[in-house]
Structure 1
């Protein structure tokens, strides 16, 4: 079993997560399976209200500059909504909006407004999935 962590997630790891990952990589396949089984066991033993008590990360809002390019807006929104995991679907929608601006001449303010709406929608969906 090979543990794959998406590139965007690697820089968000805590020191404890990095240490655990380093130790995990040193284990044999059988030891890894044992560790994963134990981790699954521990999560079933955790009180249910502990998950509810853990606050979800909030967006780190940055004011929108008056003169902002679509690419700068995407970077700003990625930093704002750093916790989003479904980057492939998000990239699909953001690239569509970027194309509409570049290739079809869609107004930049309109595109950035819609980008903000897309990111906010993905955040709301992420919150709903995480809480359930």
Structure 2
């Protein structure tokens, strides 16, 4: 940005025009994001089983991108005694949020 600001106005316009050209030429192909495959939440589900269920439901997500949030919630359950149903509720939100972001559905609708 500093380099851009240091350019004369005419060269800034030329650079922006070239950037727009490159962006239009290199638009990535739209990839199809599969819909989640909902699995009903069983009564009395454990946090571990919920993780497996949500991983199967949202099979298209990169689990490594969920690791920080899911491991924090798991630790709250195991180490701090947080109720399983509360943790599972939050896990469902985390998975849904990551899916919506991947599918481009996280904008204001």
Q: Where on the TM-score scale, by shorter chain, does this alignment land: which range?
A: 0.5 to 0.7
Residue 62 of structure 1 corresponds to which residue in structure 2? 39
Q: Does 1:117 align with 2:93?
A: yes
**C-alpha displacement at 1:98, in angstroms?**
0.5
Q: Name the Cα RMSD after superposition.
A: 2.2
Cα distance between partner residues in 2 of 1:56 and 1:93? 22
Number of residue equivalences: 80
**Which of 43, 68, 76 pairs up with 1:100?**
76
- The higher radius of gyration belongs to 2
Runs of 5+ consecutive residues of structure 2 not aligned to the other structure: 1-24
* Structure 2 CA distance for aligned equivalents of residues 59 and 89 of structure 1: 17
TM-score, normalisation: structure 1:
0.55
Distance 1:95 1:78 in 2: 14
SS at 1:96 equivalent: helix
Task: Select 1:128's aligned residue among 75, 90, 104.
Answer: 104
Counterpart Cα distance in 2 of 1:121 and 1:55? 18
Structure 1: any 5+ residue segments left out of the alignment?
1-43
- What do the CA deviations read for 1:75-120 (whole angstroms, capped 9, x no partner)? 00000000012x2220111111000001101011100000000000
Relative to its length, the structure with more helix (as a share) is 1
SS across alignment from 1:65: coil
Aligned to 2:104, the other structure's residue is in SS state: helix
- Shift in Å, 1:55: 4.5
